[in-house]
Every structure is written in structure tokens, then in C-alpha cells.
Structure 1
Amino acid sequence: MSSSFTVITGNEDPKKTESALDWKVLAQLSGTLVVLMGWRNMPSIVETLVANGKSPRTPAALIMWGTEPWQIAVTGPLSNIVDLAYEKGISSPVIAVIGDVAGLRETLRWFDNRPLFGKRALVTRTRAQAGKLSQRLEALGAIAVEAPTIEIQPLDDYTELDSAVTRLTDYDWILFSSGNAVEAVFDRIDALNLDSRAFAGTQIACIGPDTSSILQRHGIIPDLIPDTAVAESLINALTSLDMAGKNILIPKPDIGRDTLPTGLRAAGATITEVVSYRTVMPKSSKALVMDAISEGIDIAVFTSSSTVENLAKLLNDDLACLENAKIACIGPITAATAGELGLSVDIVATEHTIDGLVTAMEEHFVGGGDTG
């Protein structure tokens, strides 16, 4: 390791009659030499350093777009570092690092060998919810491109939802199949000047850990969470407790599967479904999606069937632009929807949560699943 470093410009004013840099002194330095903005002059910089006594075998590195997800770096001996950079397609902006420390790149390397480094990931989740997913992807080196294909909107009329919220204790169970349903119900609890006591004596089930986390932020610990975050698992968990004659409330979106109420009715339960929020396509979606695709997509990430269906609508059901992208889905239901629309799904989360989805993508690329 070097105990000192020197930083110089590699792009002096061409009008100067002579350099302000003492290249003989610079060539004799034992520490690390860092050259900024020097790509255009790099051949002459290397030649001058060697001519003034710097060993041509000195380790060197050239880094283009350093610290960015599209960073490219090359290392090698000083004498042919420029040729190696040409071969790798390097051009401005470039930083040069010259000295023994450059030879430690493979030992110290961490930034550009992350599993998703440089991959453009299309995030189709709602803008309000995309942040966590984008942050997790970027931590793994990806370029998260947010182009929401769905948006959660409030209802035009709260009469039915408010009626249910003011009678929560009339139900044996309340089932939350998404965090959006939780937020919608608690928005009305607040609007009606109620609090969590409105759930007194009522048991609560939710579809998975992400929904459970949102419930717990509101001070409610669910009584039941199935092993896997799909409606079928929730049905199995509930019917194992005997649902015959039970009065169950299901706050739901305006669109979605009817698997949960159908399965519980078959088990003898009395089901009340109440729409608690609307799922719509954002007005800005078309432009965002087209811009994202025009720049290339390596991974398309889907967190619900609606995100896939709306993307297909935006593209007039022509999903050929994603044929070279990896398709990642949060669970089997979303994956099935993607398959029905003609997409070949590469990644399906085992744990149907955002964390589980990111883990599945990481494992796919670390495990050599990336053939592109």
C-alpha cells in the first residue's frame, strides 16, 4: 500500500509554452500518482513518465465514469495500459491511478463486481412504493429505472367502506391481502376519528410479512400469516381453523383476483367484500416506459399482476422489446400473468416480498443464471 499520493491534471492549457508539471520529479515519486482529465493526453503522459525514469512495469489503472453504475476500469503495466484501455472501449472521462496500489485492484475490488452492477432494472411498482425496491437494487449495483405502471388512488365514494370500518367488531375475521388495503382502512379510521380499538375482539389475518409490517406500524399484530404470501396459502391457513359460519371482511382493490373470497365461501364462511382503493394507470406511464426501453432494459421487475398487465397495455401487447431482458416476479401469481402475456419468466421469488424478490435476483446473477 502507498503512504502518499499526488494528484495532477492531465489536461493543461494547450496555449502554455511549457508544462507547469515537473515530470522528472513526478516519475521518481514512490507513492501513488493520480491523473485527472488526462485521457486525451494519456499516451504522451505515459511516454513522458517512462522517459523520466518511471518503470514501464509500474501497475496502472484507468477508470472511466468512476463511482457510476456504468463504470469501466482496466489495469495493467504502465507501458501498455493505453492499449488495454482502447481494447476495452474506454474514453473520457477517465482517471488514471499509477503505482503499486493499482495492482491491488482484484484484492480490494468491491464496487463493480456486485451481482447487479451496471444492469438497468425497470421498476414498475407505484411511485410511492418503488423507493425501497430501487434502493435495494442500487445497493447491488443496478441502475433502477422507475416507470410505474400502476398508481393507487382513493375512492370517489367512501359510503360502503366507512360503513364497514364503523362495524369492524361485527366480523370474526378481517383479511388484508395487501399493504394498500391496510393503509386505505386506516385512512378511513383516522377520517372517522376512530383508532385501533375499532378492531377490538376481531381477529386479523394478512397475506404476508410485508403487509404484516404495515399493520404493525399502525399498532396491530396480525393473528395469522400464512407460510407463503399467496391467497391460496391464506385460504389453507384459515380453513384449517374451521371457517364455517364465520363472518369475514375483505377490504380489496377495485380490480383483482377473487380466489380468496371464493375459497372461503366454499369453506362455509360469510364474506363481505368492500372496495377500499382503486388501481389505475398513471398518466405519465407511457412516456416513462418508452424512455426506459429506448435506453435498454436488462431486468424487468414486476411486483403484481397489475404491473405486468398495465405494461402490456402500454406497449399494445407487444412485449418483444423485453425478449433480451431477465423477467423477475415477486411470486407465482405474477409470474403466471407474465407467462400468459408471452413473457419468459427467469426469476420468481421464493419469499413473496420485496426483500425476497431482491434476494432471488441476487442469487440468480451470482449463481450464473445471467446468460446475457
Structure 2
Amino acid sequence: MFRVAVTTTLDRAAGMSAELVAVGLAPVELPCIEVIRGRDEDIARARAACEEADLIVLASSRSLDALWPDGSFPPVGAAVIGPATATSVAERGGTVCAIGNGSLLDLVRSLDVEDARVAIPHAPSTDPRALAELADRCCDLVSVPVYSTAPIGPPGDHVDGAVFVSSSAVHGWALTRSFEGVRVACLGPSTSATLQLYGRDSDVADRRRSYRELAVGLAELVGA
């Protein structure tokens, strides 16, 4: 069976692994990133801003885990990137009012926030253009880093392919392994762009940020 590395953190690997199994591929969990929680004072500031905002903008559900580890969410509408983040908000009882399937900048440009107070808890690697445009377009913005990711080299288990859902995971893979001889699938445009820094184009790319579409595309590519 075609073995595919799932390169996200172990606590997030189950969703991608399930989609790979569903299309006849064999997932191998090889974490390439670690998540580092933000400073306590930043967490407190971001949490307070979200509770007072008219809109919360989220590029990743990891912000939710940093701010509300108890699984809650404030009674504030959320604009999010990707179906996975939308699902995480909904499971916490939150309301999703906009879902972007491209970049954060694309999502920001689609929002009507002229008179809104907006909070965006994020990672330090978040596109600064999106943050600047959001600040220009809303009446008040609180932008606080609440977590960061760091690349780590994965084990050397044999795999035929690899799935990357973040740029940090691409960097992590490159610490200990080569992309040569491996079929690569990337979720989102920034992940694909990071892969190109290593002289490699993705064999499968999904801009809609859907784990299922990524798994289906990889299965079709290898004839699974």
C-alpha cells in the first residue's frame, strides 16, 4: 500500500489520516512541527479583545486551543480560513460568518469591517499584508500573536508520499529528509510556495484547504 507521511502535530494528524485511509492510502504520522504557546500576557490580551470584538478573524484553529483550552468560544462572529477552522469554531458553539478558501489576505479583502472592532489572534508568521490591510479597513484592530510553530526533523520511516498543511512542516521535513523520490501534496498556496524554496513543485495542491480533496487528488495521482 502507498505510504503517506502526515506531517502535522500528532494531536492534529487524525483528520488527515482518516481521509487518506478512506481513499486507500496508508498514513504514517511523522510530525514535522511543534507548537509553542504564546506569552501569558499576550494570551490574556487577545482573549479580552476577542470577547469585546464585533468580529474575530482566524487563520488557524490553533489560536482557539491557545486562547480557550476549555473548548469554549465567545458569542462573537468569526471569519475563518478553511473548513477545518470553521468546524473547530462550530464545535465550540461559535458562529462562523465567513469562510475563506484562499489566503488570509483574500479573506480580509472580502470582509465588510468598516465600522467593526476586529480581533485577530495569530502566529508571528501571519502575512503582514493581511494584518496591515485589516488595520486600514476596520475602525479598531487588536492583533496579537498567541502561538508559534517551529520546524522539527521527522523520523526516517519509509514513505512514498507526504502531505504538508503548513510551511513550517515543509521546513521541518527538510531538516532531516529529502523531497526526492517522494510524491508531495500541499494544502494552501503558502505551503506550495514554501516547497518551491527547496526546488520542488507539489504534485498535488488544493487551494480550497480541504483535507478530503487533497487525499483524493493524491490517490488519483498514484492510482490507489
Question: TM-score normalised to the size of structure 2?
Answer: 0.87
Distance 1:160 1:122 in 2: 34
**1:128 lines up with 2:11 in the alignment:** yes
Following superposition, the deviation at residue 124 of structure 1 comes to: 0.9
Tell me the distance in 1 between the aligned counterparts of 2:34 and 2:129.
Answer: 23
- 8 Å contact 1:250–1:273 — kept in the other structure? yes
Superposed structure 1 runs of 4+ greater than 6 Å apart: none
Aligned partner of 1:152 in structure 2 is 35
Is 1:362 matched with 2:219?
yes
CA distance in 1, matches of 2:8, 2:79: 24
Match of residue 205 from structure 2: 348
For the 8 Å contact 1:246–1:270, the answer to whether it is kept is: yes
Name 1:205's counterpart in structure 2: 79
Aligned-partner Cα distance in 1 for 2:162–2:49: 42
Q: 1:358–1:170: structure 2 CA closer, same or farther, 3 Å change rule?
A: same
Structure 1's unaligned 5+ residue stretches are: 1-117
Residue 248 (structure 1) aligned to one of 94, 102, 118: 118
CA distance in 1, matches of 2:222, 2:182: 13
Tell me by how many angstroms 1:258 deviates.
Answer: 2.2
Q: Is the 8 A contact 1:261 1:271 kept in 2?
A: no
RMSD: 2.4
CA distance in 1, matches of 2:19, 2:52: 41
The structure whose residues are more often strand, as a share, is: 2
What's the secondary structure of 2:97's corresponding residue? Answer: coil
Alignment of 1:178 onto 2:60: yes
**Number of corresponding residues:** 224
- Paired with 2:208 and 2:217, the residues of 1 have a C-alpha distance of 9
- Match of 1:144, as an amino acid? P
8 Å Cα contact 1:330-1:356 kept in structure 2: no
Match of residue 304 from structure 1? 166
Structure 2: state its 5+ residue gaps: none
Superposition TM-score, scaled by structure 1 size: 0.55
Q: CA deviation at 1:269?
A: 4.9
Which residue does the alignment assign to 1:264?
A: 134
Question: 1:328 corresponds to which residue?
Answer: 185
User: Kindly, what percent of the aligned residue pairs are identical?
Assistant: 25
Q: Which has the larger radius of gyration?
A: 1
